[in-house]
Amino acid sequence: MKVKKTIVLLPGDGIGPEVTRAAATVLRECAQEFHHEFDLHEFPIGGAAIDEIGTPLPNETLDACKKADAVFLGAVGGAKWDSLPVGKRPESGLLGLRKGMGLYVNVRPVKVLEPLRGISPLKPERLGDLDIEIVRELAGGMYFGERGNTTENGVERAWDTESYSTPEIERIATFAYGRAENRSRRLCSVDKANVLASSQLWRRTVVAMSGVYSAVKLEHMYVDNAAMQLTLKPSQFDVMLTSNMFGDILSDAAAALVGSIGLIPSASFGTGAPLFEPIHGSAPSLVGTDSANPVGSILSAVLMLRDAFGLSLEADWVEQSLHRVLAGGYRTADIAQPGASTIGGSVFTEMLREEMQRTLEHAERYGWGV
């Protein structure tokens, strides 16, 4: 069935435009070959928007995102803008975008890609069948709590407040329980309830909801232990539920388990259009070298196809083609292994496109009616 969707592209800063082009290539291929209509529109955000318009989140950008069916973000930030006040930096544009779009859930799938199992820093027996979803609360906690700075008697003091309400916890927990129900029905809620009042409320709320989701096995883990267990035996986890700050830290730690932060996609959901983005930063030092890894961006496009548009067949097509390119030994520099063919990010994307076309030539073999 033909699908018509409006997609806003926010390339952003550093390597953001490069990896966004990779995702756009995949989306255009899907539209063409499966007879969909994807209208892609590009808008500035972050440092690029500061340089062009004077603000990290122009009203035109936010308005377009609110009207879209899905949004794709490249990356924001860079040393060029570090001297700006906190509320004026590129990253504040991203926080404003999340708030303006009503996004309160971030999902980061961390899954070992079989052709890349050897680049994990963990031994194979410890890595196991790594396949985790980290469900992170995105609109509350310390990043949005009360903050301030004062000087008394020549001594400067600053504070940031970790704060959550029961409804905020309930809505993110509802999402996490739902993801767990559709996977292996295991949910690990991460907190620091032994010392933080906000975490005590977090735990009480998650426990109170467990009766509604009786098929899901719930466990709790302090955040410091969770960080340790991720490196000792990551396969023990399936869905992890975290606060904003804890999820920010743990998801990057989990990304290291697969060998490169450039391999991890993410999706954010809320009351409006969902947002998809690779979790890596803007990496200004890589700009112009064509060495940025586009895999996280490509897998973010796969998430968009599957989770936002319900196009599982198209998502499978891209994902399987990506695995075959990697199995052929083609790598960007960050994931290169001895004997691998090291290529640039744009070349990798073109090879993926060609592999997708080869797959279509044998569509009958897969039972696909393209």
**81-107: pLDDT as tens digits:** 988 887 889 999 998 999 999 999 999
**How would residue 367 be classed by pLDDT, with cut points 50, 70 and 90?**
low
How far apart CA 106 and CA 69 sit, in angstroms, is 17
Q: Which residue has the tokens 């199995």?
A: 327
Q: Determine contact, residues 101/272, Cβ cutoff 8 Å.
A: yes
For residue 57, the model assigns a pLDDT of: 97
Confirm whether 131 is a catalytic residue: no
Nearest alpha-carbon partner for 164 in 126, 131, 191: 191
How far apart CA 338 and CA 325 sit, in angstroms, is 17
Angle between helices 46-53 and 90-100 (to 10 degrees): 100
Confirm whether 129 is a catalytic residue: no
Is it the case that residue 364 has pLDDT exceeding 60? Answer: no
Please give the mean pLDDT across all residues of the chain.
94
Catalytic residue among 177, 192, 238, 334: 192
Q: What pLDDT, in 10s, does the model give residues 178-208?
A: 999 999 999 999 999 999 999 999 999 999 9
Confirm whether 334 is a catalytic residue: no
Q: Determine contact, residues 195/188, Cβ cutoff 8 Å.
A: no
Which domains are seen in the chain, by residue range? Answer: 1-111+264-370 (3.40.718.10), 121-257 (3.40.718.10)
For range 110-130, the mean pLDDT = 91
Confirm whether 307 is a catalytic residue: no
How far apart CA 304 and CA 271 sit, in angstroms, is 16
Catalytic residue among 213, 248, 330, 334: 248
How far apart CA 29 and CA 108 sit, in angstroms, is 24
Catalytic residue among 39, 51, 63, 224: 224
Confirm whether 69 is a catalytic residue: no
Catalytic residue among 160, 252, 290, 307: 252
